[in-house]
Chains A and B, each alone.
Chain A
Amino acid sequence: MKARARKNAGIARGRRLFAGAEAKFVPQARLSGPMPWVIAIMVAMTAIALAAGLALGNTVTSATAEISGGVTVQVVEPREDVRQQEAARALDALKGESAIASMRLVPQEELDALVSPWLGGGVDVTAGIGVPVPALIDVRLKQAATPERIAAIRRALAPAAPSARVDAQAEWLKPVFDAIVSLQWLALVLVALLAMALSAAVLLAARSALGANRDTIEIVHLLGGTDAQIARVFQRSLGVDAAGGGLVGLLLAGIVIVVLGRRFAGLSAGLVSSGALVWSDWLLLVLVPLLATALAMITARLTVMHALRKML
């Protein structure tokens, strides 16, 4: 008992340094028991969902920028000699197009490398047995590959290479983009739901801290404490707890995001450029615990003020 009293006095002294004499009105107006952990977990989940949404957004943006101007011309003539002539004529025909930034005929070795996983390494695709591989021209437009620009390229190619097929690269990646965009929406909805749950948790925590200290509030009130004085004490101690929980949550989320980020960076290399978070994304993530803390403080203040206004 005595030891506890001494320890309490020590804690009280420490707190006083930090918060001034007022903190001594209600030294236990802290979030009780599991609440800081609940806030930590909610902040972690909110931040992870937000990070996922941001990363997906980055993926879409960078991939779109990369392939939106991309057009693939396939010369699907089965006879190899005709195919090569058509491909050469197609290149000539496209040289006159002002919309094109660059183009190149994909060399046979690259095509072989692309196709061999599908046909098996043993098949000699160049020998002309079995599967004829179309000639590929990789065209990069100065602007996005709109249907009109694609049509213009088709018109330019028609006389020179009748067997040429022209596709926007974005076109055949569209289902992938659509899926990513839906995932992004899902992440945003999750963020909204988690933020709501987080607010509810903070609200309940503030209420319960208040309920546990209702008598103390009334006593300080009757001893001449002003509403603002009393509210400040609660605001501060709940803010400290929410900030503590929020910090732990953010650290947790940071670890998860970095580890998962590494995994995905390894996975998606090649197809599209990375959805890695940039500094402004991290700034948004840091906002999550800050907002949770601000919310805790505002809730504490409003709840205390409301309770006090019912007293004379």
Chain B
Amino acid sequence: MTGKAESEIVHFDNVGLRYDHDREVLSDLSFTLFGGTFYFLTGASGAGKTSLLRLLYLAQRPSRGVVRMFGKDAITMPRSGLPALRRRIGVVFQDFRLVPHLSAFDNVALPLRVAGFSERDIAGPVGDILEWVGLADRKTAFPAALSGGEQQRIAIARAVIARPDMLVADEPTGNVDPDMGLKLIRLFELLNRQGTTIVVATHDMQLLRKVPSALIMRLDKGRLSDPTGALRYPPRTPA
């Protein structure tokens, strides 16, 4: 691996999250994610995968603990500093969250437009990535006219278009057939080889085997666990 692989991208120390007042959905999470590494986040439905990813893509502050992103303290950072961090993170939402009144093309172009790219610099890359996910001929279609699998591929294209430092994907293969699922995983691997840190939440155990080099984090009722010791668990979790 490259030197970038050794750099710390995300650091959680004793993080807990509760939505309401009665119980913690995430508890005592302490781990470090490194640049250029491929991570799977597994766990049963309701274990807290989506909640953990929401902390990762800065949609939510934890109730307690320390979160460092790209070397910066994400807890004490003022709100005005967060957009710059978010632009370094690509997100595939579990429910896609495409903008309904934007075409497939405009949905994919959104991160580039937010980042202030000129229209001239947008058309090429967006066309390429649409080609890649096999939807070049659907670029004028609106989300409502796309199948679940097509929407998911548009969501993935949007997440990777701006070449983020970290890609966070919530069940990204949940709605596509196995062939497309494999193809998407290959895309993630390709990005990973170019230095992007990948975090994929999935409850699909088959998927884990598709990326032998990936590290695996397992959530059980909101806690990171490795009861059998058989998982390729993130190295260097602080004691």
Contact residues of A with B, CB < 8 Å? 1-2, 5-6, 8-9, 12, 16, 21-22, 24-28, 215-216, 219-220, 222-227, 229, 309, 311-312
Contacts and interface: CB of A to CB of B under 8 A. Distances in A.
Given A215-B97, A222-B59, 6 more contacts: A21-B119, A219-B99, A309-B79, A311-B59, A312-B58, A312-B82
B209 interface: no
Nearest to B115: A224
Contacts of A6: 140
Interface of B: 57-61, 79-80, 82-87, 89, 91, 97, 99-103, 106, 109-111, 113-119, 122, 140-142, 145, 158
Given A24-B102, A219-B99, A224-B115, A312 B140 contact: no
Contacts of B91: 222-223
Most chain A CB inside 10 Å of its own CB: which residue of B84, B119, B158:
B119
9 contacts: A16-B119, A24-B102, A27-B102, A28-B101, A215-B97, A222-B57, A222-B59, A223-B91, A224-B84
Nearest to B110: A223
A8 B103 contact: yes
Given A12-B106, A312-B59, A224 B83 contact: yes
Nearest to B74: A312
Contact of B87 (A8, A28, A224): A224
A223 B142 contact: no
Given A223-B110, A229-B114, A5 B140 contact: yes
B107 to A, nearest CB: 9
Contacts of A2: 140
A25 B112 CA distance: 11
A222 B54 CA distance: 10
Contacts of B141: 5
B114 A224 contact: yes
Most chain B CB inside 10 Å of its own CB: which residue of A1, A21, A26:
A21
A223 to B, nearest CB: 5
Given A24-B102, A28-B101, A9 B110 contact: no
Contacts, number: 80
Contacts of B116: 21
A216 B98 CA distance: 8
A277 to B, nearest CB: 44
B145 A1 contact: yes
B145 A27 contact: no
Given A222-B57, A312-B79, A9 B111 contact: no
A222 B114 contact: no
B114 A312 contact: no
Contacts of A311: 59
A32 to B, nearest CB: 12
Contacts of B111: 223-224
A224 B91 CA distance: 11
Nearest to B84: A224
Contacts of B86: 222-224
Contact of B140 (A9, A22, A28, A227): A9
B43 to A, nearest CB: 23
Contacts of A220: 99, 110, 114
A25 B140 contact: no
Contact of B113 (A22, A28, A219, A312): A22
B79 A27 contact: no
Contacts of B101: 27-28, 216
A224 B150 CA distance: 24
Contacts of B109: 24
A25 B122 CA distance: 14
A27 B140 CA distance: 15
Contacts of B103: 5, 8-9
A226 B82 CA distance: 9
A229 B80 CA distance: 12
A92 B59 CA distance: 96
B140 A226 contact: no
Most chain B CB inside 10 Å of its own CB: which residue of A26, A27, A216, A309:
A216
Most chain A CB inside 10 Å of its own CB: which residue of B82, B103, B113, B116:
B113
